[in-house]
Amino acid sequence: MGNKLKVIDFFCGAGGFSEGFRQMGYEILHGYDSWKPAVDTFNYNFNLKCKAKNILDFKNSIDEIEKVPDTEVIIGSPPCVSFSSSNKSGNADKSLGVDLTETFLRIVAVKKHQPNSILKAWFMENVVNSKRYLQTAYTFKDLGLVDWALKHRISPLKIAINLYENSSIINSADYGSFQKRKRIISGEIIKCQKLVIPEKTHSDESLSHLKPYNNINKIKSKFPSPFDFKKGRFVEDVQYNISISVNLLTDHFYDTGVYMTEWEMSKYYKTNHPFMGKMSFPENEFNPSRTITATSIANSRESILYKTELDRTGDGEYRLPTVREAAIIMGFPICYQFLGLESSKWRLVGNAVCCAVSRAFAKVVLKEYKLNIPANLIVSTYPNLEGVLNLNTYSLKKFDNQPVKNKNARFRRHAIKDGNLTVTLSNYDIEINTKNDNQWYTSIQYGNGKGFPIQKIDDKFYKKIEDLILLKTTGTKFLSIINNGFTDKIGGSQTLQELYEAQKSTERYKNPTELIDELKFILDKIGVENDVFNQNEHKIFQFKNEVPLSQLYALYAINKISTIANSK
């Protein structure tokens, strides 16, 4: 025990960063985190008695830093939420993220430069976007260590931490992880005075000498589905040499099926998003997983959805990963336990550092210092389940609680996207980004995001293009379908809003999502995908000379929806 390198973990979370080091024979001495469920989970798996602590306690107190045990390795993963580009569309306040990160670097600086320092390496993990808000190098003065530096006869203007050449973007799939999770790793092996990047072990290139990327199919083909519980059998860990009774496997045998309204929304955002690229729906299981997030959401672009193993259509046709599947994707062994309710477990798993990545950096330290590398990974082979809230229910979900939208929720949807061109139905003015005002709008978007032109279309505009549509081979058929049945399903403005909020339709009226989906079906059915509308003297689309004929048809139908809704 005394020969093991000791590790201290800041922002320890569930312990993914520490787990990789433990697997390589390190002793995990302490973990710091302000969130109690994280500390409880960390203690549970590492047999420690740490207490919840705000890392900002170290910001202005040298005494607090000096109470931290001296270790050979310091690791930390400052919370990425405020740095994430997806948080409030990238407009979130970054100051807390900077504060927390610089506080961690302050601790590292003291432990690295103190007399008789035993520090051999330090590593920090964060989202790639974080580098935009951090300095490339920090002096002692930058880190609030002027007095400490002078006390130790160090110039306050000397660089204490250099991030510029000691940071690298790491893709976890390159090290055997089941997901392509890109994160920036900063740090230093003190002996080398630089960050040493581990050699990659996996690749997605078929001609590479490296192992092929691990993919989701490897998990699903070798691991029981959530609906495949059979007493008496044993479950093999797909990553580690572990086999346990199926009765001991937690957080997996429960129904994660999602409502049709949820997965349809996710499908729309993935395959037909107004201004982002196309993604697979459901997940392409022969690729590594996309990034596991800290929340289990079923109706967003970021949702990870699998086709269910059950014979279901509609509600429950697709499902989310279980907490256990997500944990495997993050690299946790199947004996690792997460404490708390399902939402807490998802946050613990999604915020963790991939064990494959931390293990790779742990191995580099051993190699650089010519220390013994374990022949086998050190992993717990039997789960401790005392006090664990197991999510297993061994039962199927009843889809009797349809999710609803908030009162006055905003709506925006288009039937088809061609390049950057979309014709959109919305219940707010997209150009000036207003709140829902109980009116329905037709608009044309000519580009992705801010700065591209938006053409607003007045109600009853559809009448001006009806004759143009009749000139087309498929025009009569299209108008017949739209005007004989489709328009009958359009309710008034308030009805349309209420149906959208309730996420359902009635026998008489369809909600706006279903109206747009039905329009997409009609356009596909009449077969105008490759036909072009050359405007010539008819300037319908102001910023295009020619557009797909399907967009002209979409403009007619969507404008008819907004016109009818606003007139009732």
Q: What is the mean pLDDT of the chain?
A: 93
CA dihedral 486, 487, 492, 498 (to 10 degrees): 10
Residue 250 domain flag: no
- Nearest 10 degrees: CA dihedral of 83, 88, 89, 91? -60
Cα 120 from Cα 53, distance rounded (Å)? 25
Query: Phi and psi of 159, rounded to 5°?
Result: -70, 125
End position of a domain, from candidates 308, 335, 368: 368
Q: Does a structural domain hold residue 458?
A: yes
Task: Say which residue the tokens 């082979």 belong to.
Answer: 381
The burial class, CB within 10 Å (0-12 / 13-18 / 19+), for 407 is exposed
On whether both 544 and 478 belong to a single domain, the answer is yes
pTM: 0.90
Name every residue whose Cβ is closer than 8 Å to that of residue 331 and which is 6 or more positions away in sequence: 16, 19, 20, 172, 177, 178, 239, 354, 355, 356, 357, 359
Start-to-end CA span in the chain (Å): 78
For residue 190, the enclosing domain spans: 6-207+354-368
Verify that 96 and 185 share a domain, yes or no: yes
- Of the pLDDT bands very low, low, confident and very high (cuts 50, 70, 90), residue 277 is confident
In a domain, 225, yes or no: no
Q: Are residues 421 and 364 in the same domain?
A: no
Query: In terms of domains, do 509 and 363 share one?
Result: no
Q: Are 181 and 172 in contact (CB under 8 A)?
A: yes
Q: Which of 299, 333, 368 is the last residue of a domain?
A: 368
Question: Which 8-state DSSP code applies to residue 158?
Answer: S
- 364 shares its domain with 481: no
pLDDT given for residue 449 in this prediction = 65
Alpha-carbon torsion angle 335, 341, 344, 348, nearest 10: 0
The Cα-based distances of 354 to 19, 163, 181, 221, 253 in angstroms read 9, 21, 8, 22, 23
Supply the CATH number for residue 108's domain: 3.40.50.150
Check whether residue 149 and residue 11 sit in a common domain. Answer: yes
- Per the domain annotation, does 278 fall within a domain? no
Mean pLDDT of all residues in 304-333: 97
What integer pLDDT is reported at residue 86 of this predicted model? 46
Residue 473 lies in a domain: yes
- Same structural domain, 416 and 363: no
Tokens for 552, please give them.
Answer: 């002209």
Same domain membership, residue 483 and residue 361? no
pLDDT tier, 206 (very low <50, low <70, confident <90, very high otherwise)? confident
Query: Do the domain assignments include residue 530?
Result: yes
pLDDT of residue 2 exceeding 70: no
What pLDDT, on a 0 to 100 scale, did the predictor assign at position 536? 77
Q: What is the pLDDT of residue 82?
A: 56
pLDDT in tens, 228-243: 999 889 999 999 999 9
Confidence of residue 171 (pLDDT cuts 50, 70, 90): very high
Mean pLDDT of the 362-379 span: 96
pLDDT at 383 > cutoff 50: yes
Task: Identify whether 306 is part of a domain.
Answer: no
- Number of structural domains in the chain: 2
> Do residues 457 and 509 share a domain?
yes
For residues 363 and 481, state if they share a domain.
no
pLDDT of res. 276: 81
- 423-479 pLDDT, tens digit per residue, is 999 999 998 888 988 899 999 999 876 678 999 999 999 999 999 999 999 999 999
Neighbouring residues of 131: CB distance < 8 A, sequence distance ≥ 6: 163, 167, 184
Alpha helices of 114-234 — where are they, by DSSP H? Answer: 146-151, 216-222
**346, 368, 390 - which closes a domain:** 368
The answer to whether residue 484 is domain-embedded is yes
User: Which pLDDT score, from 0 to 100, does residue 89 have?
Assistant: 39
Place of tokens 């477990």: 345
Most confidently modeled of 28-42, 205-219, 522-536?
28-42
Residue recorded with tokens 């569930």: 14
The pLDDT confidence band at residue 143, using thresholds 50, 70 and 90, is very high
Task: Name the nearest CA neighbour of 75 among 203, 3, 200, 183.
Answer: 183
Q: Note the pLDDT tens digit of each residue in 505-560.
A: 999 999 999 999 999 999 999 988 789 998 877 789 999 889 999 999 999 999 99
Tokens of 30: 């302490």
Q: Is the pLDDT of residue 83 over 60?
A: no
Give the residue with greater pLDDT, 452 vs 369: 369
The whole-number pLDDT of residue 85 equals 46
Residues 359 and 505 in one domain: no
The pLDDT, as a whole number, for residue 93 is 59
For residue 8 the two structure tokens come to 């201290």
60/183 same-domain check: yes
